[in-house]
Structure 1
Amino acid sequence: MLKRAPLARRPRRAAVALPRLLALWGGALSCISNAAVSLEGEIGRRVDVDRELRRHETSVRPPPGSGIARYDCACVASNQPAEDEHAEAVLPVPSGHWSFFGLFDGHNGGETSKWLADNLTLAVAGALADLYSRLAAATGGTPDPTPAEIQETIRAAFAAVDEHIVHDGLATALALSAAARTEDAARVLAPAHPGEVARLTAAHPGEPLLLQHGRVLGMGVSRAFGDARLKWPRAAQQELRRRGLARGAALPEVRTPPYVHAAPEVVSVPVRAGDFLVLGSDGLWEALTNEEAVGLVGMWRDARAAGGKEGRKGRVRDPVGGHAPHVLPVWASDAPDMTVRYRQWSADKRFSCADENAATMLLRNALGGADRELTSALLTIKSPRTRAYRDDMTAVVVFFDDDDDGA
């Protein structure tokens, strides 16, 4: 009689393998948990919010008689390196003082904005000095240029600077087989108005891709320094690529350049004692409306004026929870809030006016305001991730001369 061979005893091996499997599983879960903690560690770390916001702030009081009581500047980078730049100058001249305030927002790099911060004020001031010198030589007396002459001189200086950036670089590249990098642009402030649309469509008929979603061939502005690909003749761009001096293929939608230019919109605005000027890069305006920025500076100024009269020169305290937008001295209740960042952050706007620097105060309110946890989180995230949550931010606030020592 045949006997069946006994079956191998597997339960014991299974009993031994199961704890090993559980141990491996536990180790894997531990690794995943540690990885999660490591990933969130950057976000979980706390930063010194005040130190980060005030790291690059400045406050300057120009000489008496300049017409400027004080100007404040501050910037917070998102890109590394930052693409924003700013420049200020109060220059003594025989007739008094000339004051220049510039803010330059680069894209695809910051080379052009940095160059403009170093050179544009010098170019404009030099052009104006030449105008006054010519008039003085012609009249033999004190020069008194008309507003039209001043405006045309400023426009010509801007055009000459852009010519140097764009076309001098092209000539050098073609002559010496060396490429000048002018792919980034510092934006020229140009108010949006129907005239820009009419100008572009008249100059470039039959180009359906020209204006889409409020942009010029993908560009968010119609006036800019640099951006040579939208200004160089198409034949020159093709020659640069043939010689291997330009990256990528020519943009097919660039058919009849130039599409953008650097001619500024020059306006004259009467200024009274106590007025102020706010300049900001688009990182600021993604979070604050025009009315909110003006209202915040007005509240900031009023609080310090009241503190000075009451003998309180120290820190101004915010109410618990911060200031709601509707309590600002300037508030557009009927205008829709078109800013995007607070909606992206799923946060309500609650403002703070505690900073001693007006520009820093604006940046704080564009980065969470009275919500310090939100501000800390936004400042903790590092480049390049930070670009998804905020742009480079720069603010300049200029207070025109008055008798209030609290400015």
Structure 2
Amino acid sequence: MRFTRRVSTPIAVAGLAAAGYYGYQQYQHQGIVPSNSPTTTSLAPSVTSGQSRPYSTGTADTQVAGVSESVDVLGATQLPEAVRKALVVDQGNLYTAQIPADQPISKETDQSGRKVLEMLTPEQATAMLRRNEESYLVGRGEGVVRYDVVQIPSNDPIEDDHVEKIVEVPDTIAAAEDGKTRSDWMFWGVFDGHAGWTTSAKLRQTLVSYVARELNATYKSALQDPKLTFPTPDAVDAAIKKGFVTLDNEITHDSVAKVLKSQSKVVAAEILAPALSGSCALLSFYDSRSKELKVACTGDSRAVLGRRGSSGKWTATALSIDQTGGTASEDARLRAEHPGEPYVTQNGRILGGLEPSRAFGDAIYKWSTETQKKLNASYFGRSPSKLCKTPPYVTAEPVVTTTKVDPTKGDFVVMASDGLWEMLTNEEVVGLVGQWLEKQASISGTNLTVGRSANSAGGWLQSWFSTQKAASLPVEHHDLKDEGGQRAPIRQQQWGVQTGQDQRFVVEDRNAATHLVRNALGGKDSDMLSALLTLPAPYSRRYRDDLTVQVIFFGEGEGNGRVELNKEASATANGNEALKAKL
């Protein structure tokens, strides 16, 4: 799921300089002059006028990629006044280039596998960022006032998926309290697929239903005990876990029985697809009566809570732990479950292959050797690894955390696939949302009054509004070593971006999730943002992953019973046709 490669600086610089010279010689004949050619720029770790900025590394056989600004350098060849920006992809390296305005790009790929693409303009990059954004105002008076969602693909088709559902629960399931006859169960899910999109799509369609069914039985059972208002926390956790495991058993094992019974390759292709691909799953469940937020994590997507601290700044609290072969607790669990198998984790991966240690699907890490051989002989599949001796090595059972939410204090939660967390730290994400909230409050005006409708302009911001105006992100900092089981954003290392440089961020979007993605991909650096969004699949996968982000805002809003599309922060289909609000 994550491409990680360490390349020494001398080798990387040498590789980049050589590639730059080669590209310069080739593109001179086409009238294309790379702006970071050795004659016009120099390479250095720091960024100054006329220098190239190392943004990312490629995979095993590539060197550090340099995406350079077009700058005026003393003695450089003067370019025509009318130019367009292009992106040159050469052996895994990126270069920006200048193309005369009257010259079309007529050839995309040459025999060396090199691509020349016209760069997206800042306006086009913004349009691409906002193409899939959604925002909903929740006027149900049950503790949630808004949630924002966005997706940016890297794979084609995107392998991520997501779900948002609000279920009205009658008092026959949830015990009546204070005269209330209604409560809400609210679900948000992020599904990070790999080796295909079918498993994540299956989770979007069915996971909430499986979990809700188990919760329904658990809550009904609690009503039989006069001492209980709610099920015990352990009972709720067990219900969520059962929903996850039951669905994965259907995907992975029940599918095999159906295929063997049908004796049809067509049926096998359809039924086995979600088993042969895989997906992480991050599901949040909020009970509006108990005000408890349960976060169930299977894999390495992540949820982080933003909460106002005593200093007035925001604090970032992780609600999940990345579950990979490189996570100490997961490595210890797997070694205990598979004694005498030293390669159960290798280079941070399960049997040296799969990175997430918990996932749906990924049947080759769960099926017995006999089952895999039988399916390969009669249908299709992949041969089991020679290291696969005592499956299963991967489980879909989630780790569940519980957090008491205080809507009166304006808590918020960010849920995202690892494509976001490999670019930003937990603190940066929470600080960026805090910065975004202050900007929205300034746009709406400061005369916000308690009790205004959650759907009225600015009303939902009351709980978050702060008069603090600072150049740095409004977040409390702590030692990154305290993250515990979570990986640092590897892309920042690849691109040479230093953490703590808050001046690189910008607020330009009305959708909080889009705001996070913009800053993850470059922020104020419009060239970097455009370059990363210009790259098509599969080249883009070397530099960024699929991105799915949800931001959930808790607060006290007016209970008008409606969930409405927030048009100012949502994309529309066919020009004016609004997205359908979800309930």
The answer for the alignment partner of 2:494 in structure 1 is 344
The amino acid across from 2:343 in the alignment is L
Q: Give unmatched runs, 5+ long, in structure 2.
A: 1-25, 33-87, 89-104, 109-114, 175-182, 282-296, 299-320, 449-456, 459-469, 482-486, 559-565, 570-583
CA displacement, residues 69-127 of structure 1 (integer Å, 9 cap, x when unaligned): 10000010011100010101111112410010100000000101011011101111122
The answer for the alignment partner of 2:355 in structure 1 is 220
- Tell me how far 1:390 sits from its aligned partner: 1.0
Matches within 5 A, 1:156-195: 156-177=242-263, 178=265, 179=268, 180-181=272-273, 182-188=275-281, 189-190=297-298, 191=321, 192=323, 194-195=328-329
The answer for the alignment partner of 1:369 in structure 2 is 523
CA displacement, residues 237-292 of structure 1 (integer Å, 9 cap, x when unaligned): 1111222x223422111111001111111121111120000011111111111111
- What SS is found at the alignment partner of 1:144? coil
The answer for the alignment partner of 1:292 in structure 2 is 428
The answer for the alignment partner of 1:64 in structure 2 is 140
Distance in 2 separating the partners of 1:248 and 1:83: 20
Q: 2:388 aligns with which of 231, 235, 254?
A: 254
Distance in 2 separating the partners of 1:31 and 1:49: 27
Distance in 1 separating the partners of 2:441 and 2:141: 21
Whether 2:167 is the aligned partner of 1:33: answer no
Q: 1:44 aligns with which of 95, 99, 119?
A: 119
Distance in 1 separating the partners of 2:193 and 2:259: 22
Q: 1:386 aligns with which of 540, 557, 578?
A: 540
- Tell me how far 1:34 sits from its aligned partner: 7.1
CA contact (8 A) 2:419 2:544 kept: yes
Return 254-263 or 300-309, whichever deviates more: 300-309
Distance in 1 separating the partners of 2:333 and 2:227: 41
Q: CA RMSD in A?
A: 3.0
Q: 1:399 aligns with which of 531, 534, 553?
A: 553
CA displacement, residues 305-351 of structure 1 (integer Å, 9 cap, x when unaligned): 3443436989xxxxxxxxxx981122546437932324434556611
TM-score, structure 1 length as denominator? Answer: 0.82
The amino acid across from 2:540 in the alignment is T
Distance in 1 separating the partners of 2:474 and 2:120: 36
Matches within 5 A, 1:270-349: 270-273=404-407, 274-310=410-446, 327-330=472-475, 332=477, 334-335=479-480, 338-346=488-496
- Tell me how far 1:398 sits from its aligned partner: 0.3
Q: 1:74 aligns with which of 146, 150, 154?
A: 150
- Structure of greater relative contact order (alpha carbons < 8 Å, 6+ residues apart): 1
The amino acid across from 1:144 in the alignment is F
The answer for the alignment partner of 1:121 in structure 2 is 208
Larger Rg: 1
Whether 2:370 is the aligned partner of 1:235: answer yes
The answer for the alignment partner of 2:72 in structure 1 is none
Distance in 2 separating the partners of 1:334 and 1:326: 21
Q: Give unmatched runs, 5+ long, in structure 1.
A: 1-28, 315-324
Distance in 1 separating the partners of 2:471 and 2:386: 48
Normalized per residue, the structure richer in helix is 1
CA contact (8 A) 1:43 1:377 kept: no
CA contact (8 A) 2:191 2:203 kept: yes
CA displacement, residues 124-153 of structure 1 (integer Å, 9 cap, x when unaligned): 1122122233444x4589863111111111
The amino acid across from 1:238 in the alignment is K
- Tell me how far 1:400 sits from its aligned partner: 0.7
- What SS is found at the alignment partner of 1:201? helix
The answer for the alignment partner of 1:354 in structure 2 is 508
The amino acid across from 1:70 in the alignment is R
Return 195-204 or 364-373, whichever deviates more: 195-204
The amino acid across from 2:347 in the alignment is H
